[in-house]
């Protein structure tokens, strides 16, 4: 235990704090993005929020590759394997995600009307949403390539590098937002189109930085002359791990899209409140997300070494830290909920509705703070199917079914929908906690190379 206290906790902290800081910076600057748009038009913010639900579905499909790559790469590193073994894995992931990204980019541009029509977006927000979707969606392939680079960099423990890249990307985004949205430096006022252009340019910058760092400092001996047979076998391994993991995330995103259609049926005030509250409560689970990713890397390393006791202690410690931090952060947010909502809008209807939803977020965060650690630990150990199975039931029964009953059927509105989302998180948290404590995940620790 002492050895674990001195080494693994230190490792966990060194991996987690850059991820946490990166997430905080990303959210702060992202919130500034929302504030800038809100000064342009509240409906622009709501429209971008709807589009981000669509975009997240495209992105989560790419996690079939990035999740599987992260799991295998961490285990290879733990087992002491070099670039020669990892190269087919990385090249396969890159080629697959690039091809998938190009397909999705074309879909976002040429099927924009179909996608937005499925979301039943209010008429006053439709033009904004279409403008944002076609421009940002057209460059989805860049984001998916970047995701591949960053998951490999993080698997090697280089979390500080991705933090720096994210900081530079987001600073670039804020500066360009200011110039493009409001028409500074002699440019015309672009509004939502300007926000989309700033996003595209900053994400291209992130892609270039990640590629240069990967090739210069992480895998300098890597080349791009693939052995197609080895690459094909690596892609099959990636899919074996990534498909169930991404399937769970796809189910989550689809259920959130269905929930979004419920929200849009409540009118523009509910849509705008939903967008603002998601930004606000996003700060609460940043630490949980960061420690979940750090735990995933460490559990992958320890699994590759066969050190299962260490992997177990890491997960238990991380879960407790995540839950405790989330409850304290949410408590502070609840005390200041009206003031925080007032940062984004002066509309009293949105502020009141948002303040009520933030109180209901206690139910959601009690489960999510544990889920973000447990699901990452289970996947890192190779137990990728259980989160999918429990998620398929819980997301559609609670997130969709109960949310509809409470929010629409009983007329509780956005608060009722939020309680349904929270019950889903709590149910999955209990299920995955039992799964981990029983040690079922240890059956999946086998040689991955």
2 or 5, greater pLDDT: 5
- pLDDT tens sequence across 132-166: 889 988 999 998 999 999 999 998 989 899 989 98
pLDDT at 271 over 90: no
Position 448 scores a pLDDT of 44
Mean pLDDT throughout 16-43? 74
Q: How far apart are CA 429 and CA 371, in angstroms?
A: 5
385 occurs within a structural domain: yes
Long-range contacts at 318-323 (CB < 8 A, ≥ 24 apart): 318/12, 318/291, 318/292, 318/294, 318/373, 318/377, 319/370, 319/373, 319/374, 319/433, 321/287, 321/291, 322/287, 322/288, 322/291, 322/292, 322/369, 322/370, 322/372, 322/373, 323/366, 323/369, 323/370
Position 449 scores a pLDDT of 42
The DSSP symbol for 332 reads H
97 occurs within a structural domain: yes
449 occurs within a structural domain: no
Position 407 scores a pLDDT of 93
Encode burial over 184-195: b for 16+ CB neighbours within 10 A, e otherwise.
eeeeeebbbbbb
Q: Looking up tokens 């007032």, which residue turns up?
A: 342
pLDDT at 126 over 50: yes
Decide if 170 contacts 29 (C-beta within 8 A). Answer: yes
Of 96, 144, 125, 117, the residue nearest 54 (C-alpha): 117
- pLDDT tens sequence across 36-89: 777 777 777 777 777 877 887 787 777 778 888 888 888 888 777 777 778 888
225 occurs within a structural domain: yes
Position 426 scores a pLDDT of 95
- pLDDT tens sequence across 190-218: 888 888 899 899 999 999 999 999 999 98
In this prediction, residue 235 has a pLDDT band, given cuts at 50, 70 and 90, of confident
307 occurs within a structural domain: yes
360 occurs within a structural domain: yes
Q: How far apart are CA 53 and CA 119, in angstroms?
A: 9
The pair phi, psi for residue 131, each rounded to 5°, is: -60, -45
What is the tally of structural domains in the chain?
A: 1
Position 34 scores a pLDDT of 67
Encode burial over 115-133: b for 16+ CB neighbours within 10 A, e otherwise.
bbeebebbeebbebbbbbb
pLDDT more than 70, % of the chain: 95
Q: What is the mean pLDDT of the chain?
A: 86
313 occurs within a structural domain: yes
Position 394 scores a pLDDT of 95
Radius of gyration of the chain (CA): 21
pLDDT at 318 over 80: yes
Q: Which domain holds residue 417?
A: 2-444
The pair phi, psi for residue 302, each rounded to 5°, is: -65, -35
60 occurs within a structural domain: yes
pLDDT more than 90, % of the chain: 36
């Amino acid at each position: 235990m002492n050895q674990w206290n001195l080494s693994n906790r230190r490792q966990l902290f060194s991996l987690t704090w850059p991820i946490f800081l990166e997430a905080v910076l990303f959210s702060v600057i992202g919130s500034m993005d929302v504030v800038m748009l809100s000064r342009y038009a509240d409906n622009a913010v709501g429209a971008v929020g709807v589009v981000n639900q669509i975009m997240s579905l495209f992105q989560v499909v790419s996690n079939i590759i990035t999740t599987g790559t992260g799991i295998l790469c961490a285990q290879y590193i733990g087992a002491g394997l070099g670039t020669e073994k990892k190269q087919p894995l990385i090249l396969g992931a890159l080629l697959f995600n690039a091809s998938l990204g190009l397909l999705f980019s074309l879909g976002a541009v040429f099927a924009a009307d179909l996608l937005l029509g499925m979301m039943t977006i209010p008429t006053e927000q439709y033009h904004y949403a279409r403008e944002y979707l076609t421009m940002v969606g057209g460059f989805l392939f860049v984001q998916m390539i970047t995701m591949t680079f960053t998951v490999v960099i993080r698997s090697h423990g280089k979390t500080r590098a991705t933090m720096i890249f994210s900081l530079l990307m987001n600073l670039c985004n804020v500066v360009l937002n200011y110039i493009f949205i409001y028409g500074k430096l002699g440019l015309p006022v672009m509004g939502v189109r300007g926000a989309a252009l700033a996003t595209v340019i900053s994400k291209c910058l992130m892609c270039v930085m990640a590629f240069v760092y990967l090739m210069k400092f992480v895998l300098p001996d890597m080349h791009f002359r693939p052995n197609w047979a080895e690459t094909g076998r690596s892609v099959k391994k990636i899919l074996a791990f990534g498909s169930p993991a991404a399937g769970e995330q796809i189910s989550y995103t689809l259920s959130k899209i269905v929930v979004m259609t419920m929200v849009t049926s409540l009118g523009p005030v509910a849509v705008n409140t939903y967008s603002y509250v998601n930004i606000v409560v996003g700060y609460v689970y940043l630490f949980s997300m960061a420690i979940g990713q750090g735990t995933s890397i460490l559990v992958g390393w320890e699994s590759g070494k066969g050190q299962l006791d260490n992997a177990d202690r890491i997960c238990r410690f991380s879960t407790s830290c995540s839950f405790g931090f989330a409850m304290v952060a949410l408590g502070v947010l609840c005390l200041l909920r009206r003031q925080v909502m007032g940062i984004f809008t002066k509309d009293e209807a949105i502020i009141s509705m948002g303040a009520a939803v933030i109180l209901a977020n206690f139910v959601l965060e009690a489960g999510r703070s544990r889920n973000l650690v447990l699901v990452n630990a289970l996947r890192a150990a190779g137990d990728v199917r259980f989160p999918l199975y429990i998620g398929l039931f819980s997301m559609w029964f609670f997130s969709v079914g109960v949310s509809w009953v409470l929010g629409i059927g009983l007329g509780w509105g956005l608060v009722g929908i939020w309680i349904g989302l929270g019950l889903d998180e709590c149910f999955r948290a209990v299920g995955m906690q039992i799964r981990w404590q029983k040690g079922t995940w240890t059956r999946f620790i086998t040689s991955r190379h």
